[in-house]
Amino acid sequence: MAPNDQVLIVYPREEDALLAMEKFQARSISFDPVRPPEHLRDVASPAVRVARDELGAILDVSKKERLLHVGIVDWRPPADGAGNLDRFQPRGEPLFLETVQLTFVAACMADDTKLRFIAQFDRDIAEVFPYLNARIKGAMYNPAVPTLGFPLAYRMITLYGTRLAVGKTDEIVDSWRTMAWVKDLVNETWQNRASIEPCTEQRERPQPLEIYKRLPRTNCRDCGEPSCMAFAARLARGEARLASCPHMYTAPYEGMRAALLALFPGLEAESENPGRS
């Protein structure tokens, strides 16, 4: 069966997934469980993959049995190693953040080949934000709300006090991995807070025009965009990397790149581990 002929039903907790599978099996509805890797089970629950033409029956059973799910999305097979992550190991003290639980999953509005999701924390993590703000290059921090946003490669992470919003994950395994990564980042940062000078400086998302002023403005299309302004807009949204413009790393544009990064240091972040060692 082709991937685009299948959908994935995502559940918030393992008990919700197991109950759904029991009810589907009792109705002779074919399905395949999609189980998270063992090292991600603290944040992830099994999902259910079904043929698209079985979705009507699935929804009917779910309604009658009051089965709880957090989203139904197109099935996207994970790439090899999609769940790979070296997990943080705490040193004796209890974890600051114990639980990250999915509450919503859908296709990403900016790119429907990717996913977006919302997850709930088991406690308010706002007191960790100044330490994260000090560690994460180019983080966008608003202490008044409070929120903290930053890119994780092409993914966009936004932390609120008690929840996490992420856009542009590749598929469900990548989403689970991103949840675990955020949990580990919060716990590692809090455990090491004594050695981190907290930063309460408010930083905002860069405006496309301010970025454009510091680009070559040749509209050469070497970055893959139709114009430098289009490239600036994608940089501002966290959807592109500065390195996609090869000219910014040549001698004639060194001064412009330095000026751009002085204002918006996060634009050059290419690591999937901003602020982490």
Name the domain boundary from 195, 219, 246: 195
Q: Are residues 57 and 129 in the same domain?
A: no
CB 172 within 8 A of CB 192: no
At 265 the pLDDT is 63
Q: Are residues 52 and 114 in the same domain?
A: no
Q: Which domain holds residue 235?
A: 208-268
127 burial (CB, 10 Å; 0-12 / 13-18 / 19+) is middle
Q: Are residues 110 and 186 in the same domain?
A: yes
Residues 77-117 pLDDT 10s: 999 999 999 999 988 889 999 999 999 999 988 788 999 99
CB 117 within 8 A of CB 169: yes
Decide if 67 is inside a domain. Answer: yes
Please choose, from the candidates 241, 121, 141, the residue with its C-alpha nearest in 3D space to the C-alpha of residue 183: 121
Instruction: Kindly indicate the confidence band of residue 2, based on its pLDDT and cuts at 50, 70 and 90.
Output: low
Residues 204-254 pLDDT 10s: 667 899 899 999 999 999 999 999 999 998 888 767 778 889 999 898 888
The structural domain count of the chain equals: 3
Helix/strand/coil for 51: strand
Decide if 21 is inside a domain. Answer: yes
Decide if 88 is inside a domain. Answer: no
At 116 the pLDDT is 95
Q: Are residues 182 and 105 in the same domain?
A: yes
CATH of the domain at 246: 1.10.15.40
CATH of the domain at 161: 3.30.310
Q: Rounded to two decimals, what is the model's pTM?
A: 0.78
Q: Are residues 188 and 216 in the same domain?
A: no
- DSSP H/E element including 142: strand 140-142
Q: Are residues 106 and 190 in the same domain?
A: yes
CATH of the domain at 22: 3.30.70.260
Q: Are residues 107 and 191 in the same domain?
A: yes
